[in-house]
Amino acid sequence: MRQLTPADLNPAVLDVQYAVRGELAIKAENHRVALESGQHNLPFSRIINSNIGNPQQKGLDQPPITFSRQVAALMEYPPLAEIVKDKWPSDVLARAKELQEEIGSIGAYSHSKGVPLIRRSVAKFISERDGYPADPEDIFLTGGASAGVSLLLNVLITPNKTGILIPIPQYPLYTATLSQFSGVALPYHLSEPDGWKTSLEEIRSALKNAKDGITPRALVIINPGNPTGSLLDLETMEEVIQLCEEHSLVLLADEVYQNNLHRPTTHPFISFKKVVRQLNSPVALISFHSTSKGVVGECGRRGGYFECTNISEEVRALLYKMVSVGLCPPLSGQVGVDCMVRPPQPNDPSYPLYKKETDATHAALAQRTKLMAQRLNALPGVSCVDSPGALYLYPKLELPDAVVHEAEKQGKSPDTLYALELLDSTGICVVPGSGFGQKDGEHHYRLTCLCPGVEEYVGALERFHTQFIEKYGGL
Is residue 193 in a domain? Answer: yes
Task: Mark whether 395 and 325 lie in a shared domain.
Answer: no
Is residue 104 in a domain? Answer: no
- Kindly tell me if the per-residue pLDDT of 255 is higher than 90: yes
Domain hosting 252: range is 109-341
Q: 8-12, 171-175, 347-351: which has the minimum mean pLDDT?
A: 8-12
- Kindly tell me if the per-residue pLDDT of 9 is higher than 80: no
pLDDT of residue 391: 86
Sheet of 445-448, strand order: 392-393, 445-448, 431-432
- Kindly tell me if the per-residue pLDDT of 19 is higher than 70: no
Is residue 94 in a domain? Answer: no
CA distances from 190 to 168, 199, 428 (A): 6, 6, 27
Task: Mark whether 262 and 380 lie in a shared domain.
Answer: no
pLDDT of residue 435: 82
Q: Where are the alpha helices (DSSP H) in 131-165?
A: 144-156
pLDDT of residue 51: 83
d(CA 43, CA 427): 8
d(CA 157, CA 143): 21
Q: How confident is residue 53, by pLDDT bands cut at 50, 70 and 90?
A: confident
Task: Mark whether 150 and 232 lie in a shared domain.
Answer: yes
Which of 308, 341, 374 is the endpoint of a domain? 341
Task: Mark whether 226 and 304 lie in a shared domain.
Answer: yes
Is residue 350 in a domain? Answer: no
The whole-angstrom distance between residue 169's C-alpha and the CA centroid of its chain comes to: 13
- Kindly tell me if the per-residue pLDDT of 31 is higher than 60: yes
pLDDT of residue 341: 97
CATH number of the domain at 436, please: 3.90.1150.10
For the chain, report the end-to-end CA distance as a whole number of angstroms: 58
- Kindly tell me if the per-residue pLDDT of 24 is higher than 90: no
Q: Are 145 and 361 in contact (CB under 8 A)?
A: no
Task: Mark whether 305 and 365 lie in a shared domain.
Answer: no
| 264 prior amide bond cis, ω within 30 | no
Q: How confident is residue 101, by pLDDT bands cut at 50, 70 and 90?
A: very high
Q: How confident is residue 54, by pLDDT bands cut at 50, 70 and 90?
A: confident
Q: How confident is residue 143, by pLDDT bands cut at 50, 70 and 90?
A: very high
- Kindly tell me if the per-residue pLDDT of 474 is higher than 90: no
Q: To the nearest whole percent, how much of the chain has pLDDT over 70? A: 97
Is residue 73 in a domain? Answer: no
CATH number of the domain at 138, please: 3.40.640.10
**Total residue count of the chain as it appears in this document:** 475
pLDDT of residue 170: 81
* CB neighbour class for 38 (10 Å; exposed up to 12, middle 13-18, buried from 19): exposed
Is residue 85 in a domain? Answer: no
Is residue 212 in a domain? Answer: yes
Within 10 angstroms of residue 473's Cβ, the number of other Cβ atoms is: 10
Q: What residues have CB less than 8 Å from 53, skipping those under 6 apart?
A: 226, 292, 293, 299, 390, 391, 392, 448, 450
Give the 3-state secondary structure of residue 19: helix
Which of 313, 341, 369 is the endpoint of a domain? 341
pLDDT of residue 231: 92
- Kindly tell me if the per-residue pLDDT of 289 is higher than 80: yes
- Per residue in 260-273, pLDDT (tens digit) is 998 888 889 999 99
Task: Mark whether 329 and 389 lie in a shared domain.
Answer: no
Q: Are 124 and 235 in contact (CB under 8 A)?
A: no
Return the beta strands (E) in 425-472 as ranges: 428-429, 431-432, 445-448
Task: Mark whether 389 and 459 lie in a shared domain.
Answer: yes
Number of compact structural domains in the chain: 2
Q: 44-48, 128-132, 300-304: which has the minimum mean pLDDT?
A: 44-48
pTM of the model: 0.90
Q: Are 296 and 337 in contact (CB under 8 A)?
A: no
Task: Mark whether 187 and 329 lie in a shared domain.
Answer: yes
Task: Mark whether 28 and 155 lie in a shared domain.
Answer: no
d(CA 258, CA 238): 18
Task: Mark whether 374 and 277 lie in a shared domain.
Answer: no
Q: What is the mean pLDDT of residues 45-72?
A: 87
Q: How confident is residue 202, by pLDDT bands cut at 50, 70 and 90?
A: very high
Q: What residues have CB less than 8 Å from 265, skipping those under 6 apart?
A: none
Q: To the nearest whole percent, how much of the chain has pLDDT over 90? A: 61
Q: Are 461 and 376 in contact (CB under 8 A)?
A: yes
pLDDT of residue 359: 94
d(CA 264, CA 258): 10
Q: Are 112 and 324 in contact (CB under 8 A)?
A: yes
Q: What is the mean pLDDT of residues 271-283?
A: 97
Q: At what angle do helices 90-103 and 66-76 cross, to 10 degrees?
A: 40
- Kindly tell me if the per-residue pLDDT of 240 is higher than 80: yes
Q: Where are the alpha helices (DSSP H) in 327-399?
A: 331-341, 351-377
Q: 341-345, 419-423, 455-459: which has the minimum mean pLDDT?
A: 455-459
Which of 341, 368, 384 is the endpoint of a domain? 341
- Kindly tell me if the per-residue pLDDT of 177 is higher than 90: no
- Per residue in 220-239, pLDDT (tens digit) is 999 999 888 899 999 999 99
pLDDT of residue 37: 85
pLDDT of residue 451: 81
- Kindly tell me if the per-residue pLDDT of 132 is higher than 60: yes
Within 10 angstroms of residue 421's Cβ, the number of other Cβ atoms is: 17
Task: Mark whether 334 and 368 lie in a shared domain.
Answer: no
Q: How confident is residue 434, by pLDDT bands cut at 50, 70 and 90?
A: confident
Q: What residues have CB less than 8 Å from 398, skipping those under 6 apart?
A: 381, 382, 443, 475
> Which of 21-30, 114-123, 314-323 is modeled with the greatest confidence?
114-123
- Kindly tell me if the per-residue pLDDT of 21 is higher than 70: no
Task: Mark whether 163 and 308 lie in a shared domain.
Answer: yes
Q: What is the mean pLDDT of residues 347-369?
A: 94
pLDDT of residue 449: 85
When the pLDDT of each residue in the chain is averaged and rounded to a whole number, the result is 90
pLDDT of residue 16: 60
